[in-house]
Structure 1
Amino acid sequence: MDFANGTNSHTNGINSDYENTQPLKITICGAGIGGLSAAIFLRQRGHTVTLLEASRFANELGAAVHLAPNANGLLRRMGLIPEAHGAVKCQLMTQLLSDGKELFTVPLERDADRWQHPWQLAHRVSLHSELKRLATCEEGEGTPAVLRLRSKVVDVDATAGVVTLEDGEKIHSDVVIGADGVHSKTRPRIPGADTIETFGSGKSAFRFLIPRQRALDDEMTRKFADKEGHLIMIFARDRRVVVYPTNNNTLLNFVCIHPTSESQINPQEPGSSDWQNRGNLNKMLDVYRDFEPAVLKLLGMADEETLKVWELLDMEQLPTWTEEKLVLIGDAAHPFTPRKPFSSFSFLLDLNKNSADDTADQGQGAGQAIEDAASLAVMLPPGTPLDSIPARLKLYEKCRYERASAIQEYSRLAGKDLGSGPPVDPQKFTDYNFGHDEWDYSSQMLWKWEWENKKGLL
């Protein structure tokens, strides 16, 4: 049957009058949040999906991720309920200066009803594990995706839809999805992308988790952990510490953004963009030595065995995300750098602004990858004619390019050091960010495209 999504009252073409009755063979390069989301949506559309992951999944990323309303609704559409896996509702936000002075505290509950879905703080490992389960389990709609670990992609033939692995194996597909992140091996096969390289943003980030109870047990650090769902940001001019709970409020997640040069053990060596690059606790404490003692004591609770540091990379916009049977999603198409996960600093001098509109979530890397996955699945309904695939991938790009690029640029502007950069309107961005339903929007765009092509109409 056909389904109408949101308020558009248009069908997704599931009963469209297509000639092809066979499921598409789809290969997804990369099994991160974006790749797994695409696998779930596409198996639910009836296609045959293979996931190629270079790693062994032996070192899952111990960190947290924001699930803003725009991404949260898409997860629920695929059958993933974040709170069932430890996601915490973001209820309160506090901004502090490095000396401990409070700028303001904003209760977020009062604005929560503006959005159809909640703003939650999820444990990345739990989210990734459930996405993997939904993609590959026998239960659920469609044929389970096949997940192949230790399958390193070395080349893609975009015209033929052939993926070549490191051992020489060639995999033939109707669609190849590059979901292999900022260091993508599929991206160079997109026209104009072979000369575009990532570059350092000038910032790096320490990241780690600690048990929330540990902060609660210390009188000096208790203030950072005594409220559930409490997001805290602590600023100096060119560095900041972001702290928030996750995993049913049992863990505190830290993202500590700072100048790259200060966290390098050897300043003559470039920073590392590897998320698993081990950090140095003494180096981190030195980077934040001018912060109030309570912050330093909190940071000192990090376990050096699990402390990570990575360089935040950026990349010029690609001219296109598609070529014949190849399409990019997530960081392979548009890397996000969490230089500042939240709204512009421009409002900090105006303490009369106490609205949650000033707290626009910028933790959008995962969110935009999930939106990409949803849009792509909308464009490839059951019965998709093989000869229409390149045009449908271009339609996906048309749906996603402007939005992802706008959010990416806002992230760059909002990530400027305190007091620098042009002012940004947080309220306008919040509405643009949170109020979007990508499945609904892409469905409307597909309906219009099918009308223009006189296909798939009821």
Structure 2
Amino acid sequence: MGEANLRVALVGAGIGGLGAALVLRRAGLQVEVYEQAAELSEVGAGIHLAPNGSRVLHRLGLEPRLREVAAQPQALQVRLWDRGVTVARQPMGAAWAAEFGAPHYTLHRADLHRILAEQVPAESVHLNHRCTGFAEDEQGVRIDFADGSSAHADVLVGADGVHSVIRQALAGSEQPQFAGTAALRGVVPAELVPELAVEDMYVWTGPSARLLVCPVQGGRGLAFVAVVPDSGDLRDSWSRQGDPAALAAAFADWEPTVRTLLGAATEAGHWSLYDREPLARWSTGRSTLLGDAAHPMLPHYGQGASQALEDAVALAACLGERTAGPAGIAAALRRYQELRLEHTTRVRGEALTGGSQRLGGRKEGEMSAMVEDIAWVQRYDVEQALAPAAAR
């Protein structure tokens, strides 16, 4: 094992960055986080924390905090878009926790972000630090910021999202492929939609759009994601604001409960969906990527947060078992990439056509096909996957 005082610089203080900071600190590494925003906050709406992700946070002792703010849906209902009839109901809750070894949570992105931020000392998170580039050599890596300052570390981890500066430096220019759709997301108070039980998740699939609804904020809110046709004229920013009135108008001929839900929305984020081909490599001698910076994927599998948390566990294990010196760091980052690249490439591929996209709502067997489709990734245990690699 290498020296314990390895200095790791993380660029990006989103869910992936803070999750990595937590796991790396627990592994005994020195971690500093650099974030371009002026305050530590998170935008967005609902988020899924699948069993493969929740088991990571449970092992870190965060189960009590998760249960305070998250919901654990008891079932997934598929309803007809025009008549509101429930055509399928898949038990979740305790059944899924037993089947996959951990719960499936739904929660507000900001709540998960806050839970992770609580675990990282404030003095280790440096705000107003927008990374503009980096340079590495045998002695370490220098990270440069827009204000002219710089920082030095032994390892650089880019957790700065789909438009990562670190990714661009490692992978060069890319041409994202527009998916033809956008995800419009928001949260409404559950009390405004009494027709929907806050214990369940819901999916409606129409001729050209799809609506997913899940409980958040301990059941006090209902988060929605409407997947609709989109022009793709604007950049694939997931923080751009949409027009709630236009959203409601797009679903004006859907069943009454849908109209009530979307009519109650006072804001909606507009995320034009783009896909990116997997990278052939994402690590160098002292630098690597994590989460969306390494493997951005469409949201239809609900795996973004869980994959970032798995990355963090794998990276911490590899760095913790490294041999001393620059060669040991480089070998650890290669091993991390090898452990995660094949798996995340498969998840990204399945997200193109799988998950809730399999639910048309009018054919028998669709629900069982969807559950079978996601079971392999829900059951995945990153620590078990690390064990065979450590034995080699």
TM exceeding 0.5: yes
**Per-residue deviation at 1:446?**
2.5
What is the match of residue 116 of structure 1? 101
Q: Label 1:249 to 1:425 Cα distance change in 2 as closer, same or farther (>3 A).
A: closer
Q: Does the alignment pair 1:280 with 2:243?
A: yes
Q: Does the alignment pair 1:441 with 2:385?
A: yes
Equivalent of 2:141 in 158, 161, 170: 161
Residue pairs, 1:209-224, within 5 angstroms: 209-216=187-194, 222=195, 224=196
Q: Does the alignment pair 1:406 with 2:328?
A: no
Residue pairs, 1:154-193, within 5 angstroms: 154-159=132-137, 160-190=140-170, 193=171
Equivalent pair of 2:200/2:214 in contact (CA under 8 Å): yes
**Per-residue deviation at 1:271?**
2.6
Q: Label 1:443 to 1:165 Cα distance change in 2 as closer, same or farther (>3 A).
A: farther
Alpha-carbon distance in 2 for matches of 1:318, 1:393: 15
Q: Does the alignment pair 1:323 with 2:262?
A: no
Q: Deviations over 1:67-118 (max 9, x none)?
A: 1111101011222225343111121110112112322112224343112111
What is the match of residue 103 of structure 1? 87
Equivalent of 1:397 in 322, 330, 337: 337
Alpha-carbon distance in 1 for matches of 2:273, 2:245: 21
**Matched residue type, 2:258:** V
What is the match of residue 371 of structure 1? 310
**Per-residue deviation at 1:59?**
5.5
Unpaired segments ≥5 residues, structure 2: 361-365
Q: Does the alignment pair 1:29 with 2:15?
A: no
**Matched residue type, 1:196:** E
Name the SS of the counterpart of 1:231 in structure 2: strand
**Matched residue type, 1:378:** A
Q: Between Structure 1 and Structure 2, how many residues are aligned?
A: 379
Equivalent pair of 1:244/1:252 in contact (CA under 8 Å): yes
Q: Deviations over 1:47-76 (max 9, x none)?
A: 111101111236531412111111101011
Give percent identity, aligned residues only: 30
Q: Deviations over 1:302-344 (max 9, x none)?
A: 01xx322121221111111111111111111111212x3xxxx
**Matched residue type, 1:187:** R
Name the SS of the counterpart of 1:234 in structure 2: strand
User: Which structure is higher in strand share?
Assistant: 2
Alpha-carbon distance in 1 for matches of 2:38, 2:387: 36
Q: Does the alignment pair 1:312 with 2:282?
A: no
What is the match of residue 430 of structure 1? 374
What is the match of residue 200 of structure 2? 230
Alpha-carbon distance in 1 for matches of 2:35, 2:77: 39
TM-score by length of 1: 0.78
Q: Deviations over 1:361-416 (max 9, x none)?
A: x2101110110011000111177513211111111111111111111111102276
Alpha-carbon distance in 1 for matches of 2:56, 2:96: 20
Equivalent pair of 1:90/1:230 in contact (CA under 8 Å): yes
Name the SS of the counterpart of 1:380 in structure 2: helix
Equivalent pair of 2:13/2:40 in contact (CA under 8 Å): no
Q: Does the alignment pair 1:88 with 2:71?
A: yes
Q: Label 1:311 to 1:71 Cα distance change in 2 as closer, same or farther (>3 A).
A: same
Q: Does the alignment pair 1:259 with 2:198?
A: no
User: Which structure is higher in helix share?
Assistant: 2
Equivalent of 2:117 in 122, 128, 132: 132
What is the match of residue 39 of structure 2? 57
Alpha-carbon distance in 2 for matches of 1:115, 1:275: 30
**Per-residue deviation at 1:177?**
0.3
RMSD of equivalent CA atoms? 2.2
Alpha-carbon distance in 1 for matches of 2:57, 2:40: 25
Equivalent pair of 2:132/2:165 in contact (CA under 8 Å): yes
Alpha-carbon distance in 2 for matches of 1:379, 1:236: 46
Alpha-carbon distance in 1 for matches of 2:161, 2:176: 11
Name the SS of the counterpart of 2:386 in structure 1: helix
Equivalent pair of 2:135/2:141 in contact (CA under 8 Å): yes
Q: Label 1:157 to 1:443 Cα distance change in 2 as closer, same or farther (>3 A).
A: farther
**Per-residue deviation at 1:186?**
0.3
